[in-house]
Each structure stands twice: as C-alpha cells, then as structure tokens.
C-alpha cells in the first residue's frame, strides 16, 4: 500500500461468476425464446387450434417470471367493472394442491382456502366474495365451465394468461416492472422472461408497475425503450400501501404504542417496495405520536413459498417467545393466505400478525380515467358485436 491508499478494487468474484454463468446460459435462453416464438407463430397462423372467447375476456399478464403486480392490477380491473357488468374471474391457481377446475362459489365455505385455490386467487375471492372465481390450468375448459355455471357473465378477467395461447382473450394488458422492464431482458434461464421481448407487440396496452414515489417518468422515452406500437397505450402505476391491519387475536389486543420492532415475513417475488415502505413511511397508529417502524429482521422466502412448521416455529422462538418483547410480525395479504394453512395455524395464532393491504394507484388522475374508459369501452364494444 503506497501513500496510505489501498490498491484499486478488483471486480468482485461473485459478479464475475454471475457474468460467466450468464454467458454459458445464453444459448439455452435463445433456444427457449425460439421455441416460445415458434409456438406463438403457430397459434397466430391457425396451425395450432385456439378457442376464441365468446364474451369479452381481459387478460392481465406479463413477459417476466412473477413479481410485476398481476394480482393487484387484476383486482383493480375487477373493482372497475363489477358495478356495470357481470364479472367472472379465472386464474391458474399457482401453488394450489388441488387439480383441475375448482370454482369458489361451488365449494363449501369451510373448504375454501389457499391450498385449494392458490394464495392469490383466494385473496381475490376474499376481496370480492360475490364475484364468481375459478381456477383451472386449462383456460378453455375453465371459461366454458364458468359460463355454464354463470350464464349472466358478460366479461371474464383472466389472471396471467398471456402465454396460454390455446384460449384467445379479446384484450391484453401487459405489465412490466419499473425497475425490471422486459427490455433489455432476455428469456430464461439467462434472463427472467418467458418469451422474447418482441412478444409485447401483441398487447393492447402496457402498464409500467411499481413506479417509486417521487420518480419522474418520460412517456416518450419509455415508449422508445419498450418499442411500443402507436396503437399500444402506455400507463404508469405504483403501489399504495394501506394502514397495517391486525389479523390475529394477539395483534388485535396489542397496544400499538408499545411496539418497538417489526419482523417482516415475505414469500413474494420482489419484497423491496414493501420493505422500503415499512422503513420510510409506515406507522402502526394514526396518532401523531406514533413511532416509525424499525424492521429488525426480514425473513425473505421465494414467491408462493409454502411455510413449514419448522420455519414458523423458528420465527416464534427467535422473536416472540419472550413475553417482554415488543415486536410484531408483518406480512403481505398474499402471504397471510398461506399462513392460515392447517399445519401451521396453531403456531401462527400465537403471533401478533399484521398485514399490509396494497392498492394500485395511477400516477395521474388523467391516466386513471383514460385507462378506465378504454377498458370499459372495450367491454361495451364487444358486447354490442356479440
């Protein structure tokens, strides 16, 4: 070391290894993307058969693998349409233990849970308990069954059907994250996309999600970056987190003024926006004297993770076994669906659990109104044609 200065730092070995692995995986990504592109081409040319929806069918999908905010945007569209139309919802039900077609309203209430329907569809059902909702990996079969059971349905909202080409929705809303847009990404395994980015040209509109608070957006630059066609509308949304809500008896009986620390438990694709919110803006109480939240530990699990008894017991022993502690467990609505599973329910009931509800918010009222009008006009237009 000369003159008290350290030699210039070399590139971390981890980054070099990641780059090396990315180069090795690139041929596989190109192969994966080509297979997806050929498959889409065969469906579009009618070489492979696809079923056209008999009613307006709005798909909220993406090109990336998870994490773009499909469920909150699906819920936004449901809430937008349910006042004027008979809405039904169809999802794959990712992560469920059941098989085939499952309809919530045809299932006994005591048997309705995330294990049967998947965490995200079940969460949507709890928000809209009167809206017909079903899960089925076969979108064609799922739509037919929904329409047979609810013939009054005049619009179907599909969660994550952009790559399910055997069924043809009438309108595609494609989501992409602000911090991880589909361009310049590439297909798996080197990238995080299910198809080449150019598959975005089949969307009717694109929504850039999870825009950070205070971030400025230049629509023309985003249109150029994403290479959108003139007819493709572009919108920008962010998440609005609501007041923390107690969901267990231990949380409901807690004096929030005594809380010192938070243990965050997530099993979602991208917990960063939530973590930023908790560290920056969230408070336990509406009162002016409420202290900001101190996140002492974040247990981050993969998306749709099935929590085990051992994992929850470990969280309990580490942070909540001492009655003198003033900590609470904070999680998402989606994770709360899985935390109610029978094999961990008894342990979870002992924890002071709070959930953070999330809503979709457009960056401007003008964008919100335009989005709402386009979606409603599409449903009305398709109704007239039918």
pLDDT reported for residue 10: 47
Q: How much is the pLDDT for 299?
A: 95
List the strands of the sheet with 205-209, edge to edge: 102-103, 133-135, 87-91, 155-159, 57-62, 171-177, 205-209, 233-241, 358-362
Distance between CA atoms of 30 and 41, rounded to whole angstroms?
16
Structure tokens at 384: 């007239």
What percent of the chain shows pLDDT beyond 70?
Answer: 89
284 — pLDDT class (breaks 50, 70, 90): low
pLDDT tens track for 249-261: 989 888 777 777 8
Per-residue pLDDT tens for 17-72? Answer: 667 677 888 999 999 999 999 999 999 999 999 999 999 999 999 999 877 899 99
Say if residues 13 and 168 touch (Cβ distance below 8 Å): no
pLDDT of 285 = 57
| Cβ contacts of 217-222, under 8 Å, gap ≥ 24 | 217/363
Which tens digits make up the pLDDT trace of 188-229? 999 999 999 999 999 999 999 999 988 889 999 999 999 999
* pLDDT value at residue 85: 97
Domains of the chain: 51-85+154-237+362-385 (3.40.50), 245-356 (3.40.50)
pLDDT above 70: residue 240: yes
- CA–CA separation, 73 and 315 (whole Å): 31
pLDDT tens digit string along 76-131?
999 999 999 999 999 999 889 899 999 999 999 999 999 999 999 999 999 999 99
Distance, CA of 113 to CA of 106 (rounded, Å): 13
How large is the greatest C-alpha to C-alpha distance in the chain, in angstroms?
81
Of residues 57, 51, 50, the one with CA closest to residue 154? 57
CA Rg value for the chain? 23
User: With 80 as the cut, is the pLDDT of residue 326 above it?
Assistant: no
Q: Could you tell me which residues come within 8 angstroms of residue 144 by beta carbon, excluding any fewer than 6 positions away? A: none
The DSSP string of 29-62 is HHHHHHHHHHHHHHHHTTSS--EEPSS-EEEEEE
For the stretch 329-367, pLDDT in tens is: 999 999 999 999 989 999 999 999 999 999 999 999 999
State both tokens at 82: 């349910």
pTM, entire model: 0.89
Structure tokens at 10: 């070399």
322 and 285 in contact (C-beta within 8 Å)?
Answer: no
Helix (H) / strand (E) element for 385: namely: helix 365-385
CA distance 368 to 373: 9
Query: Nearest CA to 155 among 82, 83, 55, 73?
Result: 55
Q: Does pLDDT of 11 surpass 80?
A: no
Q: Which residues pair with 67 in a beta bridge?
A: none
pLDDT at position 173 over 50: yes
Residues 134, 44: Cα–Cα separation, whole Å: 27
Return the structure tokens found at 259: 């809380």
pLDDT of residue 367: 97
Output the six-digit token pair for 347: 């342990």
Q: Is the pLDDT of residue 324 over 80?
A: no
């Amino acid at each position: 070391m000369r003159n008290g200065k350290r030699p210039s730092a070399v590139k971390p070995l981890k980054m070099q290894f990641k780059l090396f692995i990315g180069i090795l995986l690139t041929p596989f990504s190109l192969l994966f993307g080509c297979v997806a592109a050929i498959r889409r081409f065969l469906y579009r040319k009618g070489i492979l058969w696809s079923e056209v929806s008999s009613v307006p069918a709005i798909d909220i999908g993406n090109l990336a693998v998870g994490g773009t905010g499909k469920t909150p945007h699906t819920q936004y569209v449901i809430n937008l349409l349910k006042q004027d139309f008979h809405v039904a919802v169809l999802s794959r039900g990712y992560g469920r233990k059941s098989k085939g077609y499952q309809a919530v309203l045809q299932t006994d209430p005591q048997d309705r849970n995330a294990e049967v329907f998947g965490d995200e569809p079940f969460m949507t059902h709890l928000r809209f308990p009167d809206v017909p909702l079903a899960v089925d990996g076969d979108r064609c079969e799922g739509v037919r069954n929904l329409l047979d059971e609810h013939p009054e349905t005049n619009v179907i909202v599909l969660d994550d059907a952009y790559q399910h080409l055997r069924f043809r929705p009438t309108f595609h809303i494609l989501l992409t994250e602000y911090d991880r847009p589909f361009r310049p990404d590439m297909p798996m395994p080197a990238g995080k996309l299910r198809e080449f980015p150019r598959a975005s040209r089949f969307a009717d509109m694109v929504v850039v999600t999870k825009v950070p608070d205070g971030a400025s957006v230049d629509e023309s630059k985003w249109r150029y970056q994403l290479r959108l066609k003139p007819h493709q509308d572009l919108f920008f949304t962010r998440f609005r987190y609501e007041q923390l809500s107690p969901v267990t008896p231990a949380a409901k009986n807690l004096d929030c003024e005594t809380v010192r620390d938070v243990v965050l438990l997530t099993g979602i694709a991208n917990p960063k926006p939530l973590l930023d919110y908790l560290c920056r803006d969230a408070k336990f109480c509406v009162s002016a004297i409420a202290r900001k939240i101190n996140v002492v530990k974040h247990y981050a699990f993969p998306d749709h993770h099935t929590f085990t008894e051992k994992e929850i017991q470990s969280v309990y022993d580490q942070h909540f076994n001492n009655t003198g502690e003033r900590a609470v467990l904070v999680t998402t609505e989606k994770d709360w669906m899985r935390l109610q599973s029978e094999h961990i329910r008894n342990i979870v009931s002992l924890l002071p659990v709070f959930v953070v509800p999330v809503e979709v918010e457009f960056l401007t009222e003008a964008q919100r109104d335009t989005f709402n009008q386009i979606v409603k006009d599409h449903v009305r237009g398709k109704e007239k044609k039918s």
